[in-house]
């Protein structure tokens, strides 16, 4: 079993005896805070450090296989557990309360290289960019600070986005502020947006944060529908 700590450590523990098999402990000072866990895939233990480094460790030894910086935004942080599917690692970044712009990406499990990476807030020239006034989109929030959900049958990746930023003072970010406080559906191969469900229309107050997501299949007019 594998455990992460708020001090950027990853510990491999024998689930039968409780003995520590190896420990990853990065050198030097760094950002410390909560981390939501690892994913184990293709002989690697992969996790996102709070300082926005995505790390792959050798499952047997704990040595670093590769390391990737997922964002250069100073206000952003990575706390979500990564999700693996068919050679790709999916993980986003949070920090909307600090003035970051949410991001989500897919990374190659073998090399750590980004396959695609998109912002959860549209910028100039993109659809719905007019839902933000001025340059407020640059620090508008919509962080992805929890793990995503996948639908292999439809080839979709779903995620909840966090509140707009600043969360309690709407006049500095006029407009509908898409895609904050939403559930986004992206094509897992390309990162292109395929759908959105807005979970809150609050603009000037604190918007609802989406903590956990679970896919379920429900009957609908004789057919099976995802919800």
Is 214's pLDDT higher than 70?
Answer: no
Q: Kindly report the average pLDDT of the chain as a whole number.
A: 87
pLDDT per position as a tens digit, 158-190: 999 999 988 877 888 989 999 999 999 999 999
Please state the CATH superfamily assignment of the domain spanning residues 2-226 in this structure: Quinoprotein alcohol dehydrogenase-like superfamily (2.140.10.10)
Query: Domain spans of the chain?
Result: 2-226
Q: Rounded to whole angstroms, what are the CA distances from 102 to 49, 80, 123, 130, 140?
A: 16, 12, 12, 17, 8
The mean pLDDT value for 89-106 works out to 96
User: Predicted confidence band at 200 (pLDDT cuts at 50, 70, 90)?
Assistant: low
pLDDT at 127 over 60: yes
The CA distance from 191 to 88, in Å, is 12
CA dist 64 → 41, 60, 120, 145 (Å): 14, 11, 30, 24
CA distance 158 to 2: 25
User: What is the model's pLDDT at position 218?
Assistant: 42
Q: Which residue, among 116, 114, 108, has the nearest Cα to 87 in the 3D structure?
A: 108
Which residues is 156 bridged to in the sheet?
Answer: 151, 187
Are residues 184 and 154 in contact, defined by beta-carbon separation less than 8 angstroms?
A: no
- Name the residue among 148, 151, 153 with its Cα closest to residue 39: 148
As beta bridge partners, residue 149 has 158
Residue 79 · residue 33 · CB < 8 Å: yes
Whether the per-residue pLDDT at 89 is higher than 90: the answer is yes
Residues of the chain with pLDDT > 70, as a percent, come to: 87
Q: How many residues does the chain have?
A: 227
Closest CA to 92 of 29, 162, 189: 162
> Tens digit of pLDDT for each residue in 13-30?
999 999 999 999 998 878
CA distance to 36, 103, 151, per residue, from 209 (Å)? 16, 16, 22
């Amino acid at each position: 079993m594998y455990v992460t700590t708020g001090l950027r450590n990853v510990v491999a523990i024998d689930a039968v005896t409780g003995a520590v098999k190896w420990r990853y402990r990065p050198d030097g000072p760094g950002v410390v805070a909560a981390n939501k866990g690892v994913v184990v895939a293709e002989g690697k233990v992969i996790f996102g450090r709070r300082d926005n480094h995505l790390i792959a460790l050798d499952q047997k030894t704990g040595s670093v296989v590769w390391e990737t910086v997922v964002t250069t935004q100073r206000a952003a942080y990575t706390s979500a557990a990564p999700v693996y599917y068919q050679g790709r690692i999916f993980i986003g970044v949070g920090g909307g309360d600090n003035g970051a712009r949410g991001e989500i990406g897919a990374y190659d499990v073998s090399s750590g290289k980004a396959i695609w990476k998109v912002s959860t807030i549209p910028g100039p020239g993109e659809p719905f960019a007019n839902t933000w006034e001025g340059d407020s989109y640059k620090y508008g929030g919509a962080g992805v600070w929890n793990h995503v959900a996948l639908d292999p049958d439809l080839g979709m990746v779903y995620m909840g986005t966090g509140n707009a930023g600043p969360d309690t003072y709407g006049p500095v970010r006029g407009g509908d502020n898409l895609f904050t406080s939403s559930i986004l559906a992206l094509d897992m191969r390309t990162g292109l947006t395929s759908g959105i469900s807005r979970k809150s229309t609050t603009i000037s107050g604190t918007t609802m944060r989406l903590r956990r997501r679970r896919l379920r299949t429900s009957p609908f007019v004789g057919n099976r529908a995802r919800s």
